[in-house]
Chain A
């Protein structure tokens, strides 16, 4: 690791955290409730408009967009952030990381276990953070090249299209549960039977809801609703996948070895989070739709601060990084996404 004054870095970032934590309160509680209200409005407007497609197909298109928007808000700004514990301080019976369940195939508690623990604790440590390439894509020289990497761009497209199923499969460490692969350093805190149950139970619920119950409730408009749900899920999958890829797989994102991170101090942990993540520039609506994962660096430094606070934290973080000579990886959407695609293609080859 580079020679940075890690103790000072930790002190400065801790101070930023404390300053913001002291401000968290009514405004944040009002905000998340407001987003939930809008989510319900988009979801139900969407579901109703899908049925009006037979009368005016344009309404079906608006319905699909509205439903997709509802699902994106649910998954990103509400689900992801609430399940990170960002709103646990509210003491709300439903808006907390233990109770919240989202509108996606991946079971919330399985996601919590793998994402919050493995990914956020061991961010970009090869061999410990399975999110780096999701075990499907070769995104750095840390991985041996294999023939299957030649067509990994197609694998990436397929993963994006089926992202909710990819996440679900990945989060339950599917390759080990279904195919019995073992890792020496992994402690199975939840039994394989329980994981399989969660995978099938949540997945089935999602399939039955979007492709059986809602279409049946629409009666003769079955197909309009069925197709509308299919396209809305597809749009959500593409959006979430794209945003998440931009958070960790852009050009300048670093990876780390287990050796490098042994006995890591708090400052070194912050440093790794900083170099393992990348931000996206954009307008307020864009940040909301990304669940503020467009501030991936701030999210990784302070995963349990309400995400809405990241824009106000970002300039302070950037200033601290500058003092320590740490690269603050940010850019416009197309530039960052372009570098993700470049990375996927570059590492397709040896």
Chain B
């Protein structure tokens, strides 16, 4: 059937798929309808402390129910431009079944390219979401589980704990690191404490309490689940390796420039076939040519779009006006782009 539709689309509608031809028309009736995405309606935005938001979404009915701990890609329109980021769902499947809603708890960054716009979302406006993804879910076979969270990394654990039954047999201990007075959803954790008899938690901060290792009871940890910044994960991995404790982790780190823009640096570009190390002193096109990579090109000044390719990940600088790109997927022109971070490109 799909092949027939594709054939019709290609031959009668000069589009690679029918939804592309009709999408703007369907959007007149169904706002934010996009092929390959699900729609979700904004049902609540609540400020949590200084730099965090809780966004409640109502996904359309055909959205597959998630399992606590899974994440989604959230796509919003900012000034006509579609931008996406990945977030872990901060509520369980139980809430979705009962209310048709789920929550995202998001740490906002004033100078970010995405989170500052979340607060501007209007009630009942539409956003796009992906399928629930990931296998970072609670293992019900484990008798003693230690959860290690850092900052907004608390979200999958809140979802997991919310979905646990009151009469659960497992013992779960949560170590939650954040800056002083920046711990999120403490009220929810306290409620969980009364509902789940085998659950306990500690609110910690790095300066005062130091490493998490001294808080982990080795004999009472069958598995360590980690969600937080990369440094936390690296430390936890080493800890578990030396003590032979199974570890599972999830973290999404926003890619940021690591070097000052005017400083010479080398970055790795992941291409369709293998990696390449390049300098940030010249355009990506010149760099590829100097490495004898076959690239289609034209004017060399950003006009003809012949050297255009899809940037899957990473940040580039537009050499014409110095603007930095977003770090998510977008089209770039190699002749006027310089690497600012490691990149993943589809040539």
B79 at the interface (CB under 8 A from A): yes
Quick one: which of A110-148 are within 8 Å of B by CB? 112-113, 116-117, 120-121
A25 at the interface (CB under 8 A from B): yes
Q: Mark B67-85, 1 if CB is under 8 A from A, else 0.
A: 0000000000101111100
Q: Which of A21, A28, A85, A120 contacts B308 (CB 8 A)?
A: A85
Q: Mark A31-42, 1 if CB is under 8 A from B, else 0.
A: 001101100100
Q: Which of A93-101, A176-184, A321-329 is the interface stretch?
A: A93-101
Q: Mark B284-307, 1 if CB is under 8 A from A, else 0.
A: 000000000000101101111110
Query: Which residues on the A side are within 8 Å of B25 (C-beta)?
Result: 36-37, 40
Asked whether B298 lies within 8 Å of A117 as measured between CB atoms, the reply is yes
Asked whether B15 lies within 8 Å of A101 as measured between CB atoms, the reply is yes
Query: Which residues on the B side are within 8 Å of A25 (C-beta)?
Result: 79-81
Give the complex CA separation of A98 and B28 in angstroms: 24
Secondary structure at the A interface, as helix, strand, loop or mixed, is helix
Asked whether B80 lies within 8 Å of A113 as measured between CB atoms, the reply is no
Asked whether B331 lies within 8 Å of A213 as measured between CB atoms, the reply is no
Give the complex CA separation of A37 and B21 in angstroms: 10
A29 at the interface (CB under 8 A from B): yes
B23 at the interface (CB under 8 A from A): yes
Asked whether B11 lies within 8 Å of A208 as measured between CB atoms, the reply is yes
Do A91 and B83 contact each other (CB < 8 Å), given the known contacts A96-B331, A98-B308, A102-B14?
Answer: yes
Asked whether A205 lies within 8 Å of B10 as measured between CB atoms, the reply is yes
Give the complex CA separation of A102 and B81 in angstroms: 23
Query: Which residues on the B side are within 8 Å of A84 (C-beta)?
Result: 305
Asked whether B11 lies within 8 Å of A213 as measured between CB atoms, the reply is yes
Task: Give the residue name and chain of the A residue nearest to B27 (CB).
Answer: A33
Give the complex CA separation of A102 and B80 in angstroms: 23
Give the complex CA separation of A26 and B78 in angstroms: 8
Query: Which residues on the B side are within 8 Å of A99 (C-beta)?
Result: 16, 20
Give the complex CA separation of A25 and B34 in angstroms: 19
Query: Which residues on the B side are within 8 Å of A214 (C-beta)?
Result: 12
A197 at the interface (CB under 8 A from B): no
B197 at the interface (CB under 8 A from A): no
Q: How far is the CB of B34 from chain A (nearest CB, A)?
A: 7
Q: Which of A21, A28, A213 contacts B80 (CB 8 A)?
A: A28
A209 at the interface (CB under 8 A from B): yes
Quick one: which of A23-62 are within 8 Å of B by CB? 24-30, 33-34, 36-37, 40
Asked whether B321 lies within 8 Å of A18 as measured between CB atoms, the reply is yes
B267 at the interface (CB under 8 A from A): no
**For B80, B303, B310, which residue has the most chain A Cβ atoms within 10 angstroms?**
B80
Task: Give the residue name and chain of the A residue nearest to B23 (CB).
Answer: A94
Give the complex CA separation of A33 and B244 in angstroms: 57
Asked whether B303 lies within 8 Å of A91 as measured between CB atoms, the reply is no
Query: Which residues on the A side are within 8 Å of B330 (C-beta)?
Result: 91
Query: Which residues on the A side are within 8 Å of B80 (C-beta)?
Result: 24-30, 89-90
Asked whether A101 lies within 8 Å of B14 as measured between CB atoms, the reply is yes
Asked whether A121 lies within 8 Å of B304 as measured between CB atoms, the reply is yes
Query: Which residues on the A side are within 8 Å of B299 (C-beta)?
Result: 117, 120-121
Quick one: which of A144-176 are within 8 Å of B by CB? none
Q: How far is the CB of B125 from chain A (nearest CB, A)?
A: 13
Task: Give the residue name and chain of the B residue nearest to A41 (CB).
Answer: B25
Nearest 7 pairs of A and B residues by beta carbon: A29-B80, A25-B79, A117-B298, A94-B20, A117-B304, A121-B299, A116-B304
List 10 additional A-B contacts (Cβ < 8 Å) besides A21-B321, A304-B303: A27-B80, A88-B308, A89-B81, A94-B35, A97-B305, A103-B14, A205-B11, A208-B11, A209-B12, A214-B12
17 example contacts (A-B, Cβ-Cβ < 8 A) are as follows: A21-B321, A25-B79, A29-B77, A34-B24, A37-B25, A85-B305, A88-B331, A93-B34, A93-B35, A112-B306, A116-B304, A117-B298, A117-B304, A117-B306, A205-B10, A214-B12, A304-B302
Chain A contacts to B: CB under 8 angstroms: 18, 21, 24-30, 33-34, 36-37, 40, 84-85, 88-94, 96-99, 101-103, 112-113, 116-117, 120-121, 189, 205, 208-209, 213-214, 269, 303-304
